[in-house]
Chain A
């Protein structure tokens, strides 16, 4: 079996497809590329900034209230980011309000706590940015499959809502729209997790369905 201690970001037990820690965002947001772009940018800002703020104020935070302070900081930063992005993209931010609220949950339910406690400020920043990069890569890959099949287009956020490109009405029939619905997301993610296990087994020899397998 190959050593996978350095493969935690994608292939380790804390990898996003392994722990599905940002499942809600992968599930809901990736039906539209415009929403994926907005959420990815917010995550790219929030994860590293929160980690650095918390890491640099470790001495000030009483251990007893550590968790609630962490959640309040990440919620406050997400609320500020939502306000800032509602200036250029008001309608997209309004459409994504439900999912923007889930970003703090993804932050605390992911593996960020371990990284935050075990590394220096610079390492925390780099690891958080890498986490955001892994999420964004997965989210863009999902959106590139789901939106063209579901809506027959690719969209980007604009001041008056989403701006669509490459309108393909032939693709966007009822059967294809299934890919953009919640049911399609479940099935797509189910097959991708199975494929991920197979590749991980080939690369690292990790069991396809072990005791701690998620």
Chain B
């Protein structure tokens, strides 16, 4: 049952964008946002979460180097993100437009996924569940913000609020809904256990 609970925890209560603000450049600043553009970050979130758990639990910790986590996590997240970007461009037969977002671990999304997976998972299956939940949470945020962006562009709002400020305010309201939904889900889930 825990395995079902973990993706919800990672996708709603631990959503990297809504709860911690990671990925703002990826979700709000990207020119011409599309569902296709969300594939690389989502895959990087999943792979970084999964491989960081494997790295730290099967290689780093047995060697007695667990204290290196603070140093290794960022370079590892960036390496996986860059590799993912290369892999996706090779599979989709498209040129890599820019590696700059992958070089920031997709604005920290991959790093946040790795950190959460390491903290929340006690087994490989749990790590897969948390990493999948994080990636799914990002995809849902991307869909919602694209829909909001297209509506906000046509609404009569003051010029200084157009674009990023209105999306930030909208994100705040989504974050509020996510927090209350998470509380409700966990209260109901806890009551049925």
Contact = CB atoms under 8 A, between A and B. Distances in A.
A27 B20 contact: yes
Given A185-B21, A198-B160, A108 B171 contact: no
Interface stretch (A43-51, A125-133, A149-157, A188-196): A188-196
Mostly, the B contact residues are: helix
Interface residues of A, number: 45
Interface in A166-214: 178, 181-187, 189-191, 193-195, 197-198, 201, 208-209, 213-214
Interface stretch (A3-11, A32-40, A73-81, A115-123): A73-81
Contacts of B108: 24, 102, 105
B169 A187 contact: yes
Interface string B77-117: 01100000000000000000000000111011001100100
B73 interface: yes
Contacts of B168: 186-187, 189-190, 193
Contacts, number: 128
Contacts of B79: 68
Given A24-B108, A209-B159, A79 B169 contact: no
Contacts of B164: 20, 190, 193, 213-214
Interface of A: 20, 23-24, 26-28, 67-68, 71-72, 75-76, 78-79, 82, 97-98, 100-102, 104-105, 108-109, 178, 181-187, 189-191, 193-195, 197-198, 201, 208-209, 213-214
Given A20-B29, A194-B158, 8 more contacts: A28-B20, A28-B21, A71-B75, A75-B71, A98-B20, A190-B165, A193-B165, A209-B163
14 contacts: A24-B20, A24-B108, A78-B71, A79-B71, A97-B70, A105-B104, A105-B105, A181-B179, A182-B20, A186-B21, A187-B168, A193-B164, A195-B160, A197-B160
